[in-house]
């Protein structure tokens, strides 16, 4: 990893953590609107953003009330979803289509967070999956056009080599 990639991913992780901690009351538990999840869309522009996103999720989850569970399930869910989207990007080159796939993959994989909530707090699995998936879907859906529009000016694919 070159220094530019390392620096950009460090900044991305710091942004993820900072935004998460500001919105802390709605970032954890059965109903989640973790706003920095919109950064997940960066993966469609360059697969190397995986490092900053996963690092951001990891550090954020250190501050979670259920840190032990969140470090396994939360980081695992993000990593799994990102890897699926990276795999899909080998075959799909249309950014808008990849962003839609990204939304759907992250929404579907919230079953891992529902399982975490079920195991750690006894929350009902299906209801937890529904509520966390709705939160993830909402944030990712709102974030897609924002990140897409920002990319027109910033060109995320060129920030990391």
Per-residue pLDDT tens digits for 14-69: 999 999 888 766 555 556 778 899 999 999 999 999 999 999 999 999 988 888 99
Q: Give the whole-number percent of the chain exceeding pLDDT 90.
A: 84
Per-residue pLDDT tens digits for 120-158: 999 999 999 999 999 999 999 999 999 999 999 999 999
Q: What angle do CA 137, 107, 41 make, to 5 degrees?
A: 70
Burial class (CB in 10 A: 0-12, 13-18, 19+), 155: exposed
Residues 6+ apart with CB under 8 A from 153: none
CA distance 147 to 41: 7
Q: Which two tokens stand for residue 39?
A: 């950064």
Q: What's this model's pTM, rounded to 2 decimal places?
A: 0.93
CA distance 159 to 80: 24
The answer, yes or no, to whether residue 91 has pLDDT greater than 60, is: yes
How much is the average pLDDT of 108-113? 97
Check residue 27 and give its pLDDT.
55
How much is the average pLDDT of 85-94? 97
Q: Which two tokens stand for residue 14?
A: 């710091």
Of 159 and 1, the one with more pLDDT: 159
Check residue 44 and give its pLDDT.
97
Check residue 21 and give its pLDDT.
86
């Amino acid at each position: 990893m070159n220094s530019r990639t390392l620096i950009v991913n460090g900044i991305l992780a710091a942004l993820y953590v900072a935004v998460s901690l500001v919105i802390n009351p709605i970032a954890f538990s059965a109903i989640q609107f973790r706003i920095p999840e919109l950064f997940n869309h960066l993966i469609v522009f360059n697969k190397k953003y995986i490092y900053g996103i996963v690092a951001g999720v990891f550090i954020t989850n250190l501050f979670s009330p259920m840190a032990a569970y969140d470090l396994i399930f939360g980081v695992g869910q993000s990593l799994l979803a990102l890897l699926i989207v990276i795999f899909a990007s080998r075959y799909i080159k249309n950014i808008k289509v990849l962003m839609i796939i990204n939304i759907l993959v992250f929404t579907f994989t919230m079953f891992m967070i529902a399982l975490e909530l079920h195991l750690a707090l006894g929350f009902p699995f299906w209801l937890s999956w529904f509520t966390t998936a709705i939160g993830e879907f909402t944030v990712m859906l709102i974030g897609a056009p924002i990140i897409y529009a920002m990319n027109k000016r910033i060109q995320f694919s060129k920030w990391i080599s």
